[in-house]
Chain A
Amino acid sequence: MAWVLLSFTRFFWEVDMRILLAALAFLLGISNASAQTIKIGLVTALSGQSARAGEAITRGLAIAIDEINAKGGVLGRQLELVRRDDEATPAKGVIAARELLFKEKVAVLFGGLDTPVSLAIVPIMNQEKVPFMGPWAAGTPITRNGADPNFVFRVSAVDEIVNRAMLQYSQKTFNAKNCGMILVNNPWGESNEKGLTAALAAKGMKPAGVEKFDGNDVDVVPQLTRLKAAGADCLFLVGNVGPSAQVVKSLDRMGWKPPIVSHWGPAGGRFTELAGPSAKDVHFIQTYSFFGKQSPVGEKVLKALMAKYPDVKGAGDVTPAVGVANAYDGMMLTAMAIQNAGSIDGPKIREGFYRIGRYEGLIKTYDKPFTPGNHDAVNENDYVWTQFIDNQILPVGMKN
């Protein structure tokens, strides 16, 4: 009897142990699988005036990551996106970046829309030797930051190049001879003041005037009146959605309608709603438009966006397109860099960026997009001039 009882106990003990071990192995498996993902960080504005921009970057990254993961991931591991809201504030961006670096251990960090936030994060990335990819913020010093080695790369416009393109466009399209600058009062505005002044100086010209305005300024009429009095025949506008809308509304109140050649700030949100009917008069730069004939990659990305996001019914719903396109190409190039590196070690990934060869992307076909002397993959040949028609960003002259 005692033997039977002992056998029973041993049987259940063994069964329990087997179940426990199996459960443990299962849990370990899950945890191991989770550890196997390569984390890609994103610090951008997910709330406030630039929330749409943050959502566009998120969507571009998500589509690229889905595509990469469907093909087996990178280095045999799946990619995982980890996002944090910087609320367009440098201090919050720095806190978020540190959390993603030290707690989440991201392999690469993507930045957002705001140049001041990216400029605050860049020194940390170079210090920690983790690559930083800029899919939007265009401030020249973000990539040209003087660090050696430099861990900052960008698939986006660059102020210095955009400024040359703005001057060229104002002369070619509006025959402008005396443009004035109306710039947001932050490091992004300063970066553009330098770039536009240099672009004008290269052609032996000077601005009609340089005026700054704050993001919370209700009325920009005094600044614009100064530019008008100085004889400005066009305006170079640099500011995000809300501030740019304030400039347009102030111009309406003045009854002054100079051509407005803008950086791409207005693309980041409800510009038409905020600026009113005159929003369409602002011509601004973009790196991509989903309107018109698309490349096979463009068709593939648009199809994926429509499948993943119910609110995307067509090209007009991919807004702002620049955030989606830059982030998509940025993620694809980053995946290639990690593949080239053969590990998620920061310095090796950095070297991996330099070994990227030819890649047929969404914005263009890249050929050796990054070299030690050039960390910007997009240049002036890749820009598209656009305007808002209703709520959609269309290439200038294209009807809705």
Chain B
Amino acid sequence: MLVTSALITGLALGSMYGLLALGFHVTYAVSSTVNFAQGSSMMLGAVFAYTFAVTLGWPLAPAAFLALALCALYGVIVELLAVRPFARRGSSAWLMATVALGIVADNTVLFTFGKEPRGFTLAWAQGSVQLAGINVSWLQIAIPAVGLALAAALHLFSRHTKLGKAMLAVVQNPDAARLMGINVALAVSLAYAASSLFAGAAGIMIAPLFNVHSDMGTLFGLKAFAVAILGGVTSAWGVMLAGLIFGLTESLITALLGSGYTQILSFALVIAALALMPNGLFGRAEVKKV
């Protein structure tokens, strides 16, 4: 019972870490930059969805759809304001600029949404089902399912659509892609939109389990970055799998050894894994052609 319960908890949390880490992967692959404040995008997804679904009383589907659209727009803004001006000059200041923009977003939400955390209850998520002798809520089943479905959607998009193929071309060689008439700036912008959309989706799904407040994404963002590095930030399925591995490891350590060991051991294992495999579990070393 102990292990089964930990596996279910770990899968739900792990798929959230994976989804956030997938956001790091998408932008890194296309532009070699990431939004370090990915946790803020996650928070915005939850806050927008709460505002539309609870404050304005909309049905969940249009509320979630508009929330995700706004998150994608936020991603475009992040790229436009905090990444492009610096990356264009070859400066690494985008690193700090994305963190700063995240802080601005967190504080704007703090003053507009409110200082108190809010509960985001979904009626359908209250139900549960018995699996292997333990009680599992629908939400715990839905979260990994949606997480993996979104990862699969990214895979299909990049392999089977013209836009996706254009993005892959930018990943392989931005200059050659530009010469072929591909709008590289648009591809990078789209990557940031997708990155924030994934984070927003994670925020909407995690909100009913957790609560909605301005700094809810901070710790998630940090863990997701560790997951992205662990998986090998260049591999899409790698980061998703690393998310699941990290979530499961956390839960199993807590269940088997006790909560006192969770953070120490899970991050020690990340360090050990990276020491043995510097490019991450599923990443490949960058080949420099001279």
- A residues with CB within 8 A of B: 46-49, 51-52, 185, 211-213, 216, 218-219, 221-223, 225-226, 229, 241-242, 245-246, 249, 252-256, 269-270, 273-276
Judge whether B2 and A226 touch: CB under 8 Å: yes
Judge whether B118 and A253 touch: CB under 8 Å: no
Min Cβ gap A217→B in Å is 9
Of chain A, the residue at the smallest CB distance from B135 is A255
Instruction: Other than A212-B260, A274-B119, give 16 A-B pairs with Cβ distance below 8 A.
Output: A46-B115, A47-B110, A49-B117, A219-B12, A221-B6, A225-B1, A225-B2, A225-B255, A226-B254, A252-B126, A252-B137, A253-B140, A254-B134, A255-B128, A255-B135, A274-B117
List residues of chain B with CB within 8 A of the CB of A48. Answer: 115-117, 213
Of chain A, the residue at the smallest CB distance from B114 is A51
Q: Could you list 16 A-B pairs, sorted by A, with CB under 8 Å?
A: A47-B110, A185-B259, A213-B259, A216-B216, A218-B209, A219-B209, A225-B1, A225-B6, A225-B255, A253-B136, A254-B5, A254-B134, A256-B135, A269-B117, A270-B118, A274-B211
Q: Mark B227-255, 1 if CB is under 8 A from A, else 0.
A: 00000000000000000000000011011
Of chain B, the residue at the smallest CB distance from A241 is B117
Min Cβ gap B50→A in Å is 11
Of chain B, the residue at the smallest CB distance from A48 is B115
For residue B13, CB closer than 8 A to chain A, the reply is yes
Known A-B contacts A211-B259, A245-B211, A253-B128; the reply to A222 vs B9 at CB < 8 A is yes
Alpha-carbon separation in the docked complex, A229 to B256 (Å): 11
Judge whether B251 and A222 touch: CB under 8 Å: yes
Alpha-carbon separation in the docked complex, A213 to B254 (Å): 10
Alpha-carbon separation in the docked complex, A265 to B268 (Å): 32
For residue B206, CB closer than 8 A to chain A, the reply is yes
For residue B276, CB closer than 8 A to chain A, the reply is no
Of residues A225, A242, A246, which shows the largest number of chain B Cβ atoms within 10 Å of its Cβ? Answer: A225
List residues of chain A with CB within 8 A of the CB of B115. Answer: 46-48, 51
Alpha-carbon separation in the docked complex, A219 to B254 (Å): 11
Judge whether B206 and A218 touch: CB under 8 Å: yes
Alpha-carbon separation in the docked complex, A332 to B211 (Å): 37
Alpha-carbon separation in the docked complex, A269 to B126 (Å): 22
Q: Mark B125-156, 1 if CB is under 8 A from A, else 0.
A: 01010000011110110000000000000000
Contact of A223 among B1, B8, B116, B254 (CB under 8 A): B254
Of chain A, the residue at the smallest CB distance from B8 is A221
Of chain A, the residue at the smallest CB distance from B3 is A225
Contact of A216 among B137, B219, B259 (CB under 8 A): B219
List residues of chain A with CB within 8 A of the CB of B6. Answer: 221-222, 225
Min Cβ gap A277→B in Å is 9
Of chain A, the residue at the smallest CB distance from B253 is A222
Alpha-carbon separation in the docked complex, A229 to B115 (Å): 38
Judge whether A221 and B211 touch: CB under 8 Å: no
Judge whether B9 and A221 touch: CB under 8 Å: yes
Alpha-carbon separation in the docked complex, A268 to B211 (Å): 16
List residues of chain A with CB within 8 A of the CB of B218. Answer: 216
For residue B58, CB closer than 8 A to chain A, the reply is no
Alpha-carbon separation in the docked complex, A223 to B260 (Å): 10
Judge whether A222 and B255 touch: CB under 8 Å: yes
- Interface residues of A: mostly helix, strand, loop or mixed? helix
Judge whether B119 and A49 touch: CB under 8 Å: no
A-B interface, 4 closest residue pairs, ranked by CB to CB distance from nearest = A255-B135, A47-B115, A222-B254, A222-B255
Alpha-carbon separation in the docked complex, A216 to B210 (Å): 9
Judge whether B259 and A223 touch: CB under 8 Å: yes
List residues of chain A with CB within 8 A of the CB of B140. Answer: 253
List residues of chain B with CB within 8 A of the CB of A211. Answer: 258-259
Known A-B contacts A218-B13, A221-B5, A273-B118; the reply to A226 vs B209 at CB < 8 A is no
Alpha-carbon separation in the docked complex, A249 to B211 (Å): 11
Alpha-carbon separation in the docked complex, A255 to B216 (Å): 26
Alpha-carbon separation in the docked complex, A185 to B260 (Å): 9
Alpha-carbon separation in the docked complex, A241 to B213 (Å): 13
Alpha-carbon separation in the docked complex, A216 to B215 (Å): 10
Alpha-carbon separation in the docked complex, A51 to B219 (Å): 21
Contact of A226 among B12, B134, B255 (CB under 8 A): B255
List residues of chain B with CB within 8 A of the CB of A52. Answer: 116
List residues of chain B with CB within 8 A of the CB of A225. Answer: 1-2, 5-6, 255
For residue B121, CB closer than 8 A to chain A, the reply is yes
List residues of chain B with CB within 8 A of the CB of A276. Answer: 119, 121, 126
Judge whether A218 and B259 touch: CB under 8 Å: no
Judge whether A246 and B119 touch: CB under 8 Å: no
List residues of chain B with CB within 8 A of the CB of A252. Answer: 126, 137
Min Cβ gap A265→B in Å is 14
Q: In chain B, residues 77-125, which have Cβ atoms closer than 8 Å to a Cβ of chain A?
A: 110, 115-119, 121
Alpha-carbon separation in the docked complex, A256 to B5 (Å): 13
Min Cβ gap B3→A in Å is 9
Of chain B, the residue at the smallest CB distance from A46 is B115
Q: Mark B160-177, 1 if CB is under 8 A from A, else 0.
A: 000000000000000000
List residues of chain A with CB within 8 A of the CB of B210. Answer: 218, 246
List residues of chain B with CB within 8 A of the CB of A241. Answer: 117
Judge whether A242 and B117 touch: CB under 8 Å: yes
Of chain A, the residue at the smallest CB distance from B250 is A222
Min Cβ gap B213→A in Å is 7
Min Cβ gap B266→A in Å is 12
Min Cβ gap B152→A in Å is 24
Min Cβ gap A275→B in Å is 8
Contact of A245 among B119, B137, B252 (CB under 8 A): B119
